[in-house]
Amino acid sequence: MVETIDAGAHRYVGAAFTVVDSGAIRVHRERCAKVRNRNVDCLKCAAACTSGCLSLDDGELVIDASKCVGCGTCATVCPTCALESLNPSDAELKVACLRAARGDEVVIVCSQMEAALGDLLVPGVAASVICAGRVDESLLAGLAAEGVGCVTVLCGDCERCAQRHGRDTAELVAETARQVLGAWGNELEIVVTDVPPVGVLADGVDTGAVEAARDAHFAQEPACPPVREAEEFLTGSSVEADALRRPAHSLHVMKDGTLPHFIPDRRERLLDALAQLGEPASGKLETRLWGAVVIDGTKCVSCRMCATFCPTGAIAKFDDADGTLGVAHTPGDCVKCGSCGDVCPAGAITLLDAVPVSWLTDGSRHRYVMTPRPVSLTDNPHQILDTFRLDFNGDIFER
């Protein structure tokens, strides 16, 4: 259901994300933590959106598809990969980076810096993205596994750029990648800068010429001209109508009472790249990528809602033959979306930021044995519902 606010703008009601599904961004709405359960707080996409396509208005997510430039920053921050970048795809971007590599050095340039420098750049020495926020940890780890020693993300004057949030995302990704790769003993140098590295500028171009070109470009009104090729991906009326006509993915409950699980492709590619780098060192990682769930048994009511709504299956139900029931947590599959804590009715879940590296590589699985919720013998308007909960091992829940 979509409520039209004005021409091209839509309020997020349930699963309205399909309006941005286009040639630049693919929407997998069944993966979205917020779509799976409205009580989940995650709105990272809106906080990171560089163009105003996704924004918050009194706690509601407002989608103005006409503003989407296909930069992919929303896909970078989405923990469940409900948003997927297609312009270029992850595989295409990696190929472009390796093709443009100079020795073991790779340069990735945002479209605004590319437009500002123009002929000052040597053709073919940098992979191009619409926004620096498009770069994610799986790409950097993949380049490290290919033997790349330095990645420079060349980003424009973000204070005067319409994609200003992209720099923050690029910096966050760079720091996360440094920590993760460092745990695997890899020393990939990652630099986010507005200063072109040696070798990407044409002969005779000095610092003064670069600064003059950059100032002239970002002094324009509007500061950010239309992004190259963006017209192909703007979700105008015809594309928007097609998107709304496409059937939405169904969120059918599975036999165990949980919603479907999946492991994001980016997470699998990241772990594959890390495996190519060898064995990790000991210690803990504290990043945006993984979390460790702790359940307080004194508060838990055995409803197992955490497993019902966990998008990746990092929290999964178990029902043993001897009648033992509970949930098992696999930190290596956790994407730190926070769904478990947000849907827990008893506030029994804590999501730890620091995760032992060994838990990510050895398939560590932690079991939490639970007791079925007791049926009240007093005058209780919820007694029938509680009885069903007991019979179905806690798999009945209220909306």
DSSP letters spanning 219-265 = TSSSSSPPPTTGGGT---HHHHHHHHHSPPPP----TTS-------H
- Name the CA radius of gyration of the chain, rounded: 24
Q: What is the per-residue pLDDT for 334?
A: 96
- Chain centroid offset of residue 224 CA: 25
As beta bridge partners, residue 351 has 293
- Residue 278 has which token pair? 């060898």
Query: pTM (2 decimals)?
Result: 0.82
Lookup: tokens for 381: 């308007």
- Tell whether the torsion through CA atoms of 300, 301, 305 and 307 is positive or negative: positive
Q: Which amino acid is at 389?
A: R
Residue 365 one-letter amino acid: R
The whole-number pLDDT of residue 45 equals 87
Beta partners for 34? none
pLDDT in tens, the chain (399 residues): 233 333 333 344 334 555 566 667 888 888 888 888 888 888 888 888 877 787 777 666 677 777 788 888 999 999 999 889 987 899 999 999 999 999 999 999 998 889 889 999 999 999 999 999 999 999 999 999 999 999 999 987 666 666 667 889 999 999 999 999 999 999 999 999 989 988 898 888 888 888 888 888 877 754 544 443 433 433 333 333 343 334 444 567 777 778 888 999 999 999 999 999 999 988 999 999 999 999 999 999 999 999 999 999 999 999 999 999 999 999 999 999 999 999 999 999 999 999 999 999 888 999 999 987 665 555 555 545 555 544 554 444 444
Yes or no: say if 16 and 6 are a contact pair by the CB < 8 Å rule. Answer: no
* pLDDT for 174: 97
Q: Is residue 380 within a helix (H) or strand (E), and if so which, with residue range?
A: none
Fold (topology level) of 283-391:
Alpha-Beta Plaits (3.30.70)
The count of other CB atoms within 10 Å of the CB of residue 190 is 21
User: Which residues make Cβ contacts (< 8 Å) with residue 291, sequence separation at least 6?
Assistant: 331, 334, 336, 351, 352, 353, 355
Please tell me the predicted confidence (pLDDT) of residue 284: 94
Where in the chain does DSSP place strands (E)?
A: 3-6, 9-11, 25-27, 54-57, 60-64, 83-85, 105-110, 127-129, 150-154, 189-193, 284-286, 292-295, 315-319, 325-329, 349-352, 354-356, 366-370
Both tokens assigned to 305: 């809602």
Encoding tokens for residue 164?
Answer: 């200003």
Angle between helices 137-145 and 165-183 (to 10 degrees): 40
* Residue burial 62-97, b: 16+ Cβ < 10 Å; e: rest: bbbbbbbbbbbbbbbbbbbbbbbbbbbebeebbebb
Length of the chain: 399
Question: What are the CA-CA distances from residue 282 to residues 183, 327, 362 (Å)?
Answer: 8, 27, 12
Q: Is residue 302 within 8 Å of residue 397, measured between CB atoms?
A: no
User: d(Cα 135, Cα 163) in Å, to the nearest integer?
Assistant: 14
Is residue 148 a contact partner of residue 188, using CB atoms and an 8 Å limit? yes
Give the Cβ contact number of residue 241 at 10 Å. 11
CATH T-level topology, domain 3-86+231-240 = Alpha-Beta Plaits (3.30.70)
Task: Spell 131-140 as b/e; 16+ CB within 10 A means b.
Answer: bbbbbbbbbb
